Amino acid sequence: MAKFRKPVYVTAGYNTVALGPGRKEWSPKAARPGIEHYVKEAGEATLAQINDPANIDEGVLGNFMMSRYCRQGNRPGFIPMIHPALEKKPATGTEGACGSGGLALTVAARTILADIADTVLCVGVEVQNSVKAVYGADILAGAGHYASQRKQGHAHFFPGQFSDRAKNYFNKYGMEDAREAMALWYVNAIENARRNPKAQEYHNDTEDLFAVGMTPPNPQAFCECINYYDCSKVSDAGSALIFASEEGLAKLGVDKKDAAQVISYGQAESDITKLPDDKTVLWTSQVAAKKALESAGLTIHDIGFFEFHDCFSIGGVIALESVGLAAPGKGPEYVKSGKIKIDGETPVNTTGGLIGYGHPVGASGVRQCVDLLHQLTGKAGDCQIEINPDKPYGLMISMGGNDVTVISMILKKIA
């Protein structure tokens, strides 16, 4: 991909609480907020950080399966609900499974780059706790090729697919180190989530996280090669931020110290009707990250911190290898070295990631970008890391399905 033709910025990020099992206020029997609540909370909180909502030119809403979880379609129509000033302005909806939020980011960036708008409100949302888990698994199977994969697949469709990835990885590189690295990935996720009051696992007070992470998989009750703690959570949440041009920031009354620059993004797709030949590599993620890095004129070693799409712990371990932080088969060693920890050499998922913060599917990509923004502007609270002036970049990967639709985006701290 070519370099951006002009500067693009993000600002005014906001994440709601990720509500679901694990939060103290969660109750499966209590009435819960609907999709409207999360769109409005995230959107209003973002607009409160600018001078006037009327200065937003367009909107985009990322969501995966509101049509099935909430019996609701017509995504763009929820943007005007956020504020009367957005009434009659253009809006777009994006859907790319778990990469729906990531796609919303690319639409917002492209709109700025095309000179169609100077400011775009970007929102991601998902409400999944509207159905029982067994029905939710069937809904989420739509992120794969339902016609050819669902009937023969695991009852818990996506856990089954990533259990297969874990099995292939164990067979190729050995199980012991990989299993320990997966448990340590869980430890890192929960330790970071405990710093983040909005994370689904914020209230997790388990004493020995590693022992829990090492719980032997039980194929009779769940999956062959992963356990429950290897999985991201069923979550309800929303996230939002604003994309802007140089002129757009001025129009919004936002100082550059409260913004980060979008340096590049890469997008890649694989054939949804085919399963990967080699399940030990995230090939599409690899290509998307490579495109983003090449467009920015950077290498993976120029990046200071990361937001990986760890829907499952094995996916996080493989992602380290797929982007080039670790050599093939050396992802477990990289995790065990402590480099991914919040005070490590390359912090990963500093607010908890999908396993710790939660995985509101259509919102996750937007949430990742918000967290990059917060880190780069010093607004990450107890999750804040020290930004290395020699590596003032954060890279995110938003992955839809089993490495089918993937967006990688790189943000830079403004000096």
pLDDT digits 0-9 by tens, 68-117 = 999 999 999 999 999 999 999 999 999 999 999 999 999 999 999 999 99
CA proximity to 238, closest of 66, 410, 50, 392: 66
Name the pLDDT band for 1 (thresholds 50, 70, 90): low
Cβ-contact 18, 354 below 8 angstroms: no
Helix axes 157-173, 175-193, angle to 10 degrees: 130
pLDDT at position 205 over 90: yes
pTM for the predicted model, two decimal places? 0.97
User: How far apart, in Å, do the first and last CA atoms of the chain sit?
Assistant: 25
Name the pLDDT band for 157 (thresholds 50, 70, 90): confident
pLDDT at position 2 over 80: no
- What distance in Å separates the CA atoms of residue 16 and residue 10, rounded to the nearest whole number? 18
pLDDT tens by residue, 37-48: 999 999 999 999
pLDDT at position 366 over 90: yes
Radius of gyration of the chain (CA): 20
Cβ-contact 364, 309 below 8 angstroms: yes
* 249 membership: H or E segment, kind and range: helix 246-252
Cβ-contact 363, 371 below 8 angstroms: no
- What distance in Å separates the CA atoms of residue 158 and residue 69, rounded to the nearest whole number? 17
Residues 311-337 have a mean pLDDT of 98
The angle subtended at Cα 235 by Cα 21 and Cα 90, nearest 5°, is 160
Largest Cα separation within the chain, whole Å, is 59
Q: Which domains does the chain have, with CATH numbers?
A: 8-132+234-259 (3.40.47.10), 152-233+264-413 (3.40.47.10)
CA proximity to 313, closest of 223, 229, 201: 229
Our separate counts of H helices and E strands in the chain read: 14, 9
pLDDT given for residue 29 in this prediction: 87
Residues 168-191 have a mean pLDDT of 98
Cβ-contact 370, 360 below 8 angstroms: no
The least confident of 103-107, 275-279, 300-304 is: 275-279
pLDDT at position 153 over 80: no
Q: Tell me the two tokens of residue 413.
A: 């701290």
pLDDT tens by residue, 251-272: 999 999 999 999 999 999 999 9
Mean pLDDT, the chain, rounded, equals 96
**252 backbone dihedrals φ, ψ, rounded to 5°:** -80, -10
